[in-house]
Amino acid sequence: MIGLLSNRVDNVFLKKLGMPTVFIDNDNVDCDCLFINWVSKVNEDAWMKQASLLQTYLKKDIPIVIFDRTFSLTKKEVDWVKKFNTYLFEPALNSGRSGFRYLPEWISNFKIVEDGKDREYDVVYSHHQLEYNLHNFEKWFKNYSRLFPDSKVAYHSSISEFKKEEYKKDNLIFVDRYNPVYNNGNVTVAIDVQRAYDMGYFNPMYFNVMNLGCLPLLPVQHKYFHAMFKGLVISNLKDMNYFASAFGKVKDVCIEEIFDRIKKDWNEFTVDHAVDVIKACYE
């Protein structure tokens, strides 16, 4: 029986894991091993409950896998949990932290959307907090919309009315909800913060985007993943416009090629690989 401290584990992963599971909401639940999708201090109540339960289960000397998807475990916390029967994983190639093994956030579904129709928007982007990556959003999307006003560029985010008006002047179209942006857009740009580029972290959001039929273009700064996005790496706005124009209509083929490449050469991104790695910790 594998215990889960969080319900943020996808059903495909759990089904392929092939082990009975139980959600740990108190320290009286029995299990043979534990899987923790680590919660950061941003969610303080959940983090405190997680810490309390972890302290109890560490003493039981059962195998415990911690997947720190947000890189929020401190050195002090890492040094503490490493004293026990724990296995630490993170989704970055080169974070600089010791004691972690690399495990990308896996893809549970490879879905090709062949809608066979022109989509409403040429270029799209959505993030629940645009401020998180405002610099790169404006560098790529705002400047692109200004430079190529004939292209329809749409975005969604929680953002101030002041910013909405500013972006409207730059021809950016605000859309109220998340999915309609990517469902109705041909391409996006897989932007992230500089630290993500430097440490080799690829946001799984862009795999979900592909499952919605929208093709990500890869900024050249994402140096670790050029081979995965072969032929779709962009260095400037002219590159972006070329690919948005040339590949927007054949995006489904490009997405299928990326998925095939992942299955063949980037197996560590598949859910089957994640299952094998985590199962090995419990055997």
Averaged pLDDT of the chain: 91
What is the per-residue pLDDT across 195-247, written as a single tens digit (0 to 9) for each?
999 999 999 999 999 999 999 999 999 999 999 999 999 999 999 999 988 87
What is the per-residue pLDDT across 67-104, written as a single tens digit (0 to 9) for each?
999 999 999 999 999 999 999 999 999 999 999 999 99
Q: Tell me, yes or no, whether 190 lies in a domain.
A: yes
- pLDDT value, residue 73: 93
Are residue 261 and residue 128 in the same domain, yes or no? yes
Please, is 96 exposed, middle or buried when counting C-beta atoms within 10 Å of its C-beta (0-12, 13-18, 19+)? exposed
| 146-171 b/e (C-beta count within 10 Å ≥ 16 → b) | bebeebbbbbbbebeeebeeebeebb
- CATH number of domain containing 13: 3.40.50
Backbone region of residue 75 per phi and psi (left: phi > 0; alpha: psi in -120 to 50; beta: other values):
alpha
Q: Tell me, yes or no, whether 223 lies in a domain.
A: yes
Q: Tell me, yes or no, whether 277 lies in a domain.
A: no
Are residue 160 and residue 259 in the same domain, yes or no? yes
Are residue 74 and residue 152 in the same domain, yes or no? no
Are residue 260 and residue 125 in the same domain, yes or no? yes
What is the per-residue pLDDT across 26-64, written as a single tens digit (0 to 9) for each?
778 888 899 999 988 888 888 888 888 888 898 888 999
Its domain, for residue 28, covers 2-103
Q: Tell me, yes or no, whether 283 lies in a domain.
A: no
Among 127, 192, 194, which residue's Cα sits nearest to residue 154? 127
Q: How many domains does the chain have?
A: 2
Q: Tell me, yes or no, whether 163 lies in a domain.
A: yes
Per 3-state DSSP, the chain is made up of helix, strand and coil in percentages (nearest 5) of 45, 20, 40
Q: How many helices (H) and strands (E) are present in the chain, helices listed first? A: 12, 12
pTM of the model: 0.91
Are residue 77 and residue 132 in the same domain, yes or no? no
Are residue 203 and residue 249 in the same domain, yes or no? yes
**Measured over all CA atoms, what is the biggest interatomic distance in the chain, rounded to whole angstroms?**
63
Q: Tell me, yes or no, whether 113 lies in a domain.
A: no
A 10 A CB-CB count for 20 gives: 10
Q: Tell me, yes or no, whether 14 lies in a domain.
A: yes
- Tell me what percent of the residues of the chain surpass a pLDDT of 90: 65
- pLDDT value, residue 116: 64
Contact (Cβ atoms closer than 8 angstroms) between residue 200 and residue 224: yes
Are residue 128 and residue 254 in the same domain, yes or no? yes
